[in-house]
Amino acid sequence: MAELRYVGKGLPRVDALEKVTGQAMYTLDLTLPNMLYGGLLRSPLPHARILSIDTGKAERLLGVKAVITGKDTPYTFGVSHMDQTPLQTEKVRYVGDAVAAVAAVDQDVLAEALSLIQVEYQELPAVFDPHEAMQEGAPLVHEDKPGNIASNPRYDIGDVEKAFREADYVFEDHFETQRVAHVCPEPHNNLAVWDASGKLTFYYCSQMPSVTRVQLSKAFNLPESRIRVVTNTVGGGFGSRATSKFPMDFAAIVLAKKSGRPVKIAYNRADEFIHSTFRHKFIMTVKTGINRDGTITGRHVTNICDNGAYSDYGPVVTNVGGALQGTLYKFMNYKYDGYCVYTNLPYGGAMRGIGNPQVHYACEAQLSMIAERIGLDPLELRLKNAVETGDETASGAILQSCGLKECLTQAAEKIGWKEKKANPEPNRGLGIACGVHFTGVRLSPGIDADFAGATITVNDDGSVNLATSCVEIGSGSSTVLSQICAEVLGIGLDKINIICGDTETCPMGWGSRASRNTAVGGMAVQKAAEDARTQILALASQKLEIHPDDLEIKEGVITAKGAPDRSLTVAEAVRFGRYRQGGTAVMAKAHWDAPSTLADPKTGRGNFSMAFSFGAKALEVEVDPATGRINVLGVAASQDLGKAVNPLAVKGQVEGGVHMGLGFAMYEQIMLDEQGRMKNPYLLDYRIPTVMDMPPVIPILVESQDPVGPFGAKGVGEMATIGMPEALIAAVAEATGLWITDLPITPEKVFLGLKAKKAAE
């Protein structure tokens, strides 16, 4: 390959200055003249029939400009299941379900107005436990969903029963994960404006504005051309903004319409924890057949996902949780039974890894347990079973690039696996785990698409406006996409202006989710840039009278290969094209749909992603047995990303993934009381690790050069966070002899576990 000038370079982020100087404009920063503050009235009961709602007093309060109830919001919405309405009319299904909304001149009036709305409820029996919810006779959260089952995704590949019969050992273990929050720096908020012509502008910090526009168009029966969705700078997403809308969004839009004024609804941190969704709690059983030599013969995973009161991404999360466990190891017998179960609790959503981190945790934790039970090295056991390039896996994935074994060996080497295993020290332990995640995905039946778009306009001076369907949500996508554009066009990075997050100027795409910006979004940029390059070279060729194939572009200058004296700038070529009779402009576009296929509806098999990213985490802990304190001494985190378009940015992603994974593994937990109210809705007792808690991290980039993605790149964002709890559980077990199978793994659990063990001895 020709020498790369931009791709593969650790260049600083294109948005660094505006972010570090505080100039970046978030939706939360926006105020408009005459703007009102909106808010929702939420149910204090987990399950109740609504007998009456009296908004009279609130309406009469000075400063209140609009009050709405479910009568004003007759829309149903959802991600896979249309089971939600913005404001409830018949019954509420969890503590926090919205029943009315108010727009007022300031926050104080708003709070008072909300307190003046009187709702009469008749309490209904509620169900808080997914096991109980599945029993006959349990209260139904949605009357049309018997057994409270929202979905029941299954994978049934090969013959697991036979695999178990033929295995030397069969092990079955149980695992549970907790609800954890995205904790976006910018809480969810929006701002709705209707203009005099009836056009809606919705300022909305979203990961997928074009999908939001489609959904708003359907709900409000407006042409898409009459709706503009603008994200501004987005303060983090992690999947919480991949949900296209929330009750707060409908409320703001309807309140704005009713009051004739712009309406903003903004969550505080406490709202954010519960009402922006969170990672679902999974209750899992893993059964694995394995031979004495470590060959895994088959695996059966049963997973109960506590969906909460509404589905949102729950069924997708439950499905994805099963999708990838047949793609990590070579066994060809795989079964997954997922149950996504309604309860009268707050509802979860998509969160970085979308179900995959939970099931990886259970399966990889069990593999480490098995290694201990049958006396094999956990690293060797993984290497023996690891998939490789060229494999067609049990799940049906066709691996065109796979750096799994290298990820494992490098992570192990960097943590000092061999030496430390040979010389164990008291109270210390090592853990290793690996994983796989997709790069864009085609898993939703009925939507056979996984695409991104890009448009390029080259200006008179040779600079470039690049519009992408990918939203920069903090991951660095705008930088990476600009690098790809610069590389293909041969134009300096400083000449490229990237535009994102505005449906009026950006092409449509599936947004920033599923680890797809660099690869799927990057391919759209690459294709558009190739087109623009062809157009530029065609013009230059006319002017220089040299065949386009014999021309090249570097730093905005077009030269004849081997004859550098014959040259033209890109600016000159563009102007040559534009300023003449019958002229032309350099404008290019691309819509790129990833080459992947929907799964077979019977078995669940399919090559559902353009590429698969692998990774491993190896870590060492020291445990203080007398206090339970777990000190993570270091983490080696490897990531097979195909090609690092920007190594600096991607190392940041890997470190950020470790940070988030560490929170999931040992600090974070949404605690609910018996009615489903959050007990710790503030950052003191919902603990994300601070910078002081971060262990040293060694990021390892494994470049397996994928044949499909741009310059060989695959996704990183989600795989980067997978693997921490499963590596931690094994390390803590080695240090203490305790397998703590319910997350998070806290000092208190270690302490009490050791105490109980001592008492039993």
Q: Which residues contact another protein by CB under 8 A? A: 108, 270, 626-629, 667, 671, 679-680, 682-685, 687, 689-693, 746-748, 751-752, 755
* Closest by Cα among 359, 392, 213 to 282: 359
Cβ-based nearer residue to another protein, 270 or 598: 270
Q: Are 511 and 502 in contact (CB under 8 A)?
A: no
Least gap, CB of 735 to another protein (angstroms): 17
Rounded to 10 deg, the angle between the 724-736 and 747-760 helix axes is 30
Partners of residue 418 on adjacent β-strands: none
8 Å CB contact between 665 and 745: yes
**Minimum distance between the CB of residue 110 and another protein, rounded to whole angstroms?**
13
Helix (H/G/I), strand (E/B), else coil: 231? coil
Closest separation in Å from C-beta 687 to another protein: 6
- The nearer residue to another protein, 418 or 679, going by C-beta atoms, is 679
Nearer to another protein, 274 or 599 (CB): 274
Helices (H), 375-403: 378-385
Q: Which is nearer to another protein, 222 or 754 (CB)?
A: 754
- Which value, in Å, is the radius of gyration of the alpha carbons in the chain? 27
Which pair of structure tokens corresponds to residue 640? 């097979």
Query: In the complex with another protein, which residue's Cβ is closer, 159 or 624?
Result: 624
How many CB atoms neighbour CB 403 within 10 A?
A: 26
Task: Output DSSP code: residue 325.
Answer: T
Taken in order 665, 666, 669, 674, is the CA torsion positive or negative?
A: positive
Give the helix/strand (H/E) hosting 68: strand 64-69
CA 751 – CA 627 distance, rounded (Å) = 6
Q: Identify which of residues 210 and 669 has a Cβ nearer to another protein in the complex.
A: 669
Q: Which is nearer to another protein, 169 or 667 (CB)?
A: 667
Smaller CB distance to another protein: residue 269 or 554?
A: 269
Q: For residues 121-136, b (16+ Cβ closer than 10 Å) or e, as one string?
A: beebebbbebeebbee
Determine whether 760 is exposed, middle or buried from the number of CB atoms within 10 Å of its CB (0-12, 13-18, 19+): exposed
Closer residue to another protein in complex, CB, 196/692 = 692
Nearer to another protein, 268 or 505 (CB): 268
- Cβ 467 to another protein shortest distance, Å: 39
| Strands 227-230, 200-204: pairing kind | parallel
Closest separation between CB of residue 251 and another protein, Å?
22
Contact 133, 141 (CB under 8 A): yes
Q: How far apart are CA 262 and CA 34, in angstroms?
A: 7
Closer residue to another protein, CB minimum distance, 606 or 628: 628
Is residue 439 within 8 A of residue 515, CB to CB? The reply is: yes
Task: Check if the beta carbon of residue 519 is closer than 8 Å to that of residue 611.
Answer: yes
Residue among 172 and 685 whose Cβ is closer to another protein: 685
**Least distance (Å) between residue 569 CB and another protein:** 50
Q: Shortest gap between Cβ of 751 and another protein (angstroms)? A: 6
| 358 touches 282 (CB < 8 A) | yes
Spatial contact of 231 and 501, defined as CB atoms under 8 Å apart = yes
Burial class from Cβ neighbours inside 10 Å (0-12, 13-18, 19+) for residue 706 reads buried
Phi-psi category of residue 78: left, alpha or beta, with phi > 0 → left and psi -120 to 50 → alpha? left
Nearer to another protein, 217 or 746 (CB): 746
Least distance CB 631 / another protein (angstroms): 10
Residues 740, 729 contacting (CB under 8 angstroms):
yes
Question: Distance between CA atoms of 273 and 36, rounded to whole angstroms?
Answer: 24
Residue closest to 525 by CA, chosen among 400, 649, 709: 709
Residue placing its CB nearer to another protein in the complex, 357 or 628: 628
Distance CA 385, CA 370 (A): 14
Shortest CB 693 distance to another protein, Å: 5
Q: Are 491 and 570 in contact (CB under 8 A)?
A: yes
Q: What is the DSSP letter of 664?
A: I
